[in-house]
Amino acid sequence: MEARGSLSVVGALFKLSRPRQWTKNGFVLAGLIFSGEALVASSVLAAFATFVAFCALSSSVYAFNDALDAEEDRKHPEKRNRPVASGLVSPPAALVFALGLAAAGIAVCFVVNVLVGLTAVTYLLLQVVYTLYLKHMVILDVMSISGGFVLRATAGVAAVGSPVSPWLIICTGLLTLFLGFSKRRHELAALGDGAVTHRKNLQEYTVPLLDEMMNIMLAATIIAYSIYTLFGEHSEYMMATIPFVVYGVFRYMLLVHRDTGGNPDTLLLQDRPLQVSIALFLVVAMAVIYFV
């Protein structure tokens, strides 16, 4: 019985870490691919160590958030099944788990190098401020989420020892703003009248307003990436990747408007056309970067 109980606790903690959302940390590997270091063993090792560390850091943030938001999560049709909200894990246990993951993640980042470690600390501080304050502030909530993705990409660049490309910052920031506003739209549409009860700042948003914000970010992302392919550090043959970017963001928007998603991790894991588009983008981009 004790062994079975221990397994259930481990399973609850694993669920608390939200492994399905680790796909978001794929932004850490962008620096490895676009720096041209993907064929260098030491760079690959450093990048993947940073990826694993950010999985631990992001999971620590999720555990911290769930411990603080248990009452609000119980009012959400899906989030009420989370380990803390459902009573499988107590809030104090979740906080201890979060602290352990944060310490491990930061330690690994400093082992990679000091700049990665400092970026990890900045990321963690931003997430704590977001959880306590910024997520309640309209527009700043999405901007802070976008900032977290930019820091992931920056850490990946620092891990392989490449200079930070302004194009990486711009394209990552614009794309993740688009994803963030689409997630808010999904929450508003899915929760209906109960949206404000779950997240107070949703009363400041409307579906038409979020549609406009998404359209602006969508256009800005495509334009910025297209300019990058022309004037970035790689061959102009990178223009061949533009159709995959255009299709990918339009496909994502289609899914959001169908109300079948809104969370990047869910869509990436479940939608085959989106997966194929990303895979083809990576194949063509790496062919241009490493063989042209």
Mean pLDDT of the chain: 88
Q: How many CB atoms lie within 10 A of CB 70?
A: 21
Amino acid 7: pLDDT: 47
pTM of the model: 0.89
> Residue 199: which of 122, 145, 135 has the closest Cα?
135
Average pLDDT over every residue of 117-137? 94
266 — pLDDT class (breaks 50, 70, 90): confident
Answer for the pair 229, 236: CB distance below 8 angstroms, yes or no.
yes
Token digits of residue 152: 């992931």
Instruction: State pLDDT tens for residues 133-192.
Output: 998 899 999 999 999 999 999 999 999 998 877 888 899 999 999 999 988 888 887 766
194 — pLDDT class (breaks 50, 70, 90): low
Q: Give the C-alpha separation, 79 to 198, whole Å.
A: 10
pLDDT at 45 over 80: yes
Helix axes 114-132, 41-68, angle to 10 degrees: 20
Share of the chain above pLDDT 90, in %: 57
Instruction: State pLDDT tens for residues 75-90.
Output: 777 778 888 888 888 9
